[in-house]
Amino acid sequence: MEERLAVLGILIENNDAVQAVNDLLHEYGNYIRGRMGIPRVKDSVSAISIIIIASNNQISTLTGKLGMLKGVSAKAVYSKL
């Protein structure tokens, strides 16, 4: 299966979802090459960016699972290579 490089953008607007997000990211940890998180405490919003190298299916599955969590939005941007 061909691997792709992608950047996942994740916004968490429900603090109750933080553990579920971290659990999913841990599950896909073998594919994650970098992670940066920025909390905005006063607005109860956190932004996380993930650099991931995996198959299209794995990336879209992770993005979909994240997006199904209440108060969580996730989008993937794929490299063209």
- The string of pLDDT tens digits covering residues 5-62 is 999 999 999 999 999 999 999 999 999 999 999 987 777 899 999 999 999 999 999 9
pLDDT of residue 81: 67
pTM: 0.91
CB 4 within 8 A of CB 33: no
pLDDT of residue 43: 78
Chain-centre distance of CA 63, in angstroms?
A: 6
80: which residues sit within 8 A by CB, 6+ positions away? Answer: none
> CA torsion, points 2, 11, 32, 26, in degrees to nearest 10?
-120
Q: Residue range 50-75: average pLDDT?
A: 97
pLDDT of residue 80: 78
Q: Is the confidence at residue 75, as pLDDT, over 90?
A: yes
Q: Residue range 65-69: average pLDDT?
A: 97
Beta strands in 3-81 (DSSP E): 3-12, 32-40, 45-55, 72-78
Residue among 53, 63, 47 at smallest CA distance from 3? 53
